[in-house]
């Protein structure tokens, strides 16, 4: 619910070790005393403390320094730092200055394939113009109140503003740890989408407007599941879906597709909902529509499409003649 930061975020920053080091010049022809390994316990400890503090490493993770090697960057050696907890390990490459005064983290990125610009959407229902040059992808949780707020900002206001210039696509990312009926709702929505995209959007609209109705006063997940299936069947009647096929899908509750979408969200660095990708540009949380429009406008211009003019100021109420005339 909302933006929940559970995953480690590694920042590409240069940080200075809080160390008291002697002002001793290093001769150019002398090999760095720590070129093969870092043996000074005080320096090892300073590096560990800094890495833990700068990158919010959980206390139950171990931090181990690897071999120190020469790098291609003048004045710096490379240093691998491994974080581990049980069988789970992550190794991060750092740079350490040859005078042991600073630690740096540099990243390189592949501009030929940016994952956020290549999110698969072929099988997802589309709202708006299917051929639009700009796509807004929202990783959504149908039980999340912040998602409901974002949904209201997108529909109808944003859709009406951009008309055929933009298409909207939702993908599933139910936060199962805190939202007991979100996974069931996502599965039901996909059962509907398999038959009729418009029925899918009707179901999503309803749940984002009536979440408390599904949750119920006693917050019993089993009762919520019954309500979700009932709403799905009602949508099926409205849009003349194959009732037997829909019932079979609702009863099966196959989690495969939703779990795959959740895994995809994790691979993209999504750690909360709602989470929007607008032509690869990532936006977190339930944001005001105007902020979303700024990013959409930027994407439209990049695609060679002129955005609609900015909304004018709210019209002033008509003036009242004196004495009521």
Domain contains 3: no
49 shares its domain with 158: no
pLDDT given for residue 118 in this prediction: 95
Per the structure, the complete domain to which residue 80 belongs is given by 9-104
208 shares its domain with 231: yes
17 shares its domain with 80: yes
pLDDT given for residue 37 in this prediction: 66
pLDDT given for residue 98 in this prediction: 94
100 shares its domain with 176: no
Domain contains 318: no
145 shares its domain with 247: yes
Domain contains 52: yes
pLDDT given for residue 104 in this prediction: 92
228 shares its domain with 248: yes
pTM value surpassing 0.75: no
pLDDT given for residue 229 in this prediction: 98
Residues 6+ apart with CB under 8 A from 295: 276, 278, 281, 283
| Tokens matching residue 230 | 């009932």
Last residue of a domain, one of 59, 77, 104: 104
Last residue of a domain, one of 52, 81, 104: 104
Q: Which of 250, 313, 317, 300 is nearest to 132 (CA)?
A: 300
Domain contains 315: no
Are the beta carbons of 136 and 122 closer than 8 angstroms? no
130 shares its domain with 95: no
Is 85 strand, coil or helix?
Answer: strand
Q: Which of 25, 17, 77 is nearest to 44 (CA)?
A: 17
pLDDT given for residue 24 in this prediction: 33
The structural domain count of the chain equals: 2
172 shares its domain with 281: yes
66 shares its domain with 154: no
pLDDT given for residue 321 in this prediction: 40
150 shares its domain with 187: yes
157 shares its domain with 28: no
Instruction: Give the domain CATH number at 243.
Output: 3.40.30.10
Domain contains 33: yes
Domain contains 278: yes
Q: Which residues of the chain have pLDDT under 70?
A: 1-37, 313-325
Domain contains 156: yes
Q: Encode pLDDT of 188-240 as tens digits.
A: 999 999 999 999 999 999 999 999 999 999 999 999 999 999 999 999 999 99
Q: Encode pLDDT of 136-148 as tens digits.
A: 999 999 999 999 9
Domain contains 311: no
pLDDT given for residue 156 in this prediction: 96
Can you say how many angstroms the Cα of residue 50 is from the centroid of all Cα atoms in its chain? Answer: 27
Residues 6+ apart with CB under 8 A from 208: 142, 147, 148, 151, 152
Can you say how many angstroms the Cα of residue 109 is from the centroid of all Cα atoms in its chain? Answer: 19
229 shares its domain with 210: yes
| CB atoms near residue 250 (< 10 Å) | 20
Q: Which of 197, 199, 254, 250 is nearest to 225 (CA)?
A: 250
- For residue 259, what are the CA distances in angstroms to 81, 200, 233? 32, 18, 23
Instruction: Give the domain CATH number at 13.
Output: 3.10.450
Last residue of a domain, one of 45, 71, 104: 104
């Amino acid at each position: 619910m909302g933006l929940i930061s559970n995953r480690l975020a590694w920042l590409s920053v240069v940080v200075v070790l809080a160390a008291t080091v002697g002002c001793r010049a290093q001769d150019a022809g002398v090999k760095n005393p720590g070129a093969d390994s870092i043996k000074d316990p005080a320096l090892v400890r300073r590096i560990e403390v800094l890495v833990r503090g700068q990158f919010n490493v959980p206390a139950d993770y171990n931090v181990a320094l690897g071999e120190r090697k020469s790098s291609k960057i003048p004045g710096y050696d490379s240093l691998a730092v491994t974080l581990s907890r049980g069988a789970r390990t992550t190794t991060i490459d750092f740079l350490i200055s040859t005078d042991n005064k600073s630690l740096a983290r540099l990243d390189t990125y592949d501009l030929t394939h940016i994952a956020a610009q290549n999110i698969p959407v072929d099988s997802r229902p589309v709202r708006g113009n299917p051929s639009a040059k700009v796509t807004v992808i929202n990783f959504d949780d149908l039980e999340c109140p912040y998602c409901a707020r974002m949904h209201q900002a997108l529909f109808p206001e944003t859709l009406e503003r951009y008309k055929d210039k933009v298409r909207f696509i939702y993908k599933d990312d139910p936060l199962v740890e805190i939202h007991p009926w979100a996974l069931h709702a996502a599965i039901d929505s996909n059962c509907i989408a398999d038959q009729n995209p418009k029925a899918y959007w009707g179901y999503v609209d309803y749940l984002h407007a009536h979440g408390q109705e599904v949750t119920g006063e006693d917050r019993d997940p089993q009762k919520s599941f019954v309500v979700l299936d009932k709403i799905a069947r009602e949508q099926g009647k409205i849009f003349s879906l194959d009732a037997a096929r829909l019932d079979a899908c609702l009863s099966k509750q196959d989690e495969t597709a939703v779990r795959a979408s959740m895994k995809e969200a994790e691979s993209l660095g999504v750690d909360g909902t709602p989470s929007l990708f607008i032509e690869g540009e990532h936006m977190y949380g339930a944001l005001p529509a105007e902020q979303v429009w700024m990013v959409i406008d930027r994407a439209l211009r990049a695609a060679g499409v002129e955005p609609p003019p900015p909304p004018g100021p709210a019209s002033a109420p008509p003036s009242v003649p004196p004495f009521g005339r």
